[in-house]
Amino acid sequence: MHTLVNIHVLETTPPSRRRAAFGATLFAFDSGIGLGSLAIGGLIGWGCGRVGLAGYRWGWAVAAALALAAVPLSSRLVRSRPSPMGT
């Protein structure tokens, strides 16, 4: 997903703004990873405190569901790019 977003941003951004756009995408992805890890860790910790080891199951289930939410965006980005083979 990171690669697809970077390619999309760099192809649609004017050359004079590409460095800033690339830096912004890196910051957004790194921040998202950090906040997501914090949220999933909190969910696992809360679940473990409430229902025992099932907190890990719920935490990883939520993380998997959120990862699946990225599939429509990635398929949209792939479809919007012309094929390198011209087909």
Choice among 19-23, 40-44, 49-53, 73-77 with the minimum mean pLDDT: 49-53
Give kind and range of the element (H or E) at residue 31. Answer: helix 18-51
Q: How far is CA 62 from CA 8, 16, 17, 50, 71, in A?
A: 27, 40, 36, 16, 15
pTM beyond 0.85: no
Going from the C-alpha of 79 to that of each of 28, 54, 75, 76, 84, the distances in angstroms are: 23, 39, 6, 5, 12
Structure confidence at residue 14 as a pLDDT band (50, 70, 90): very high
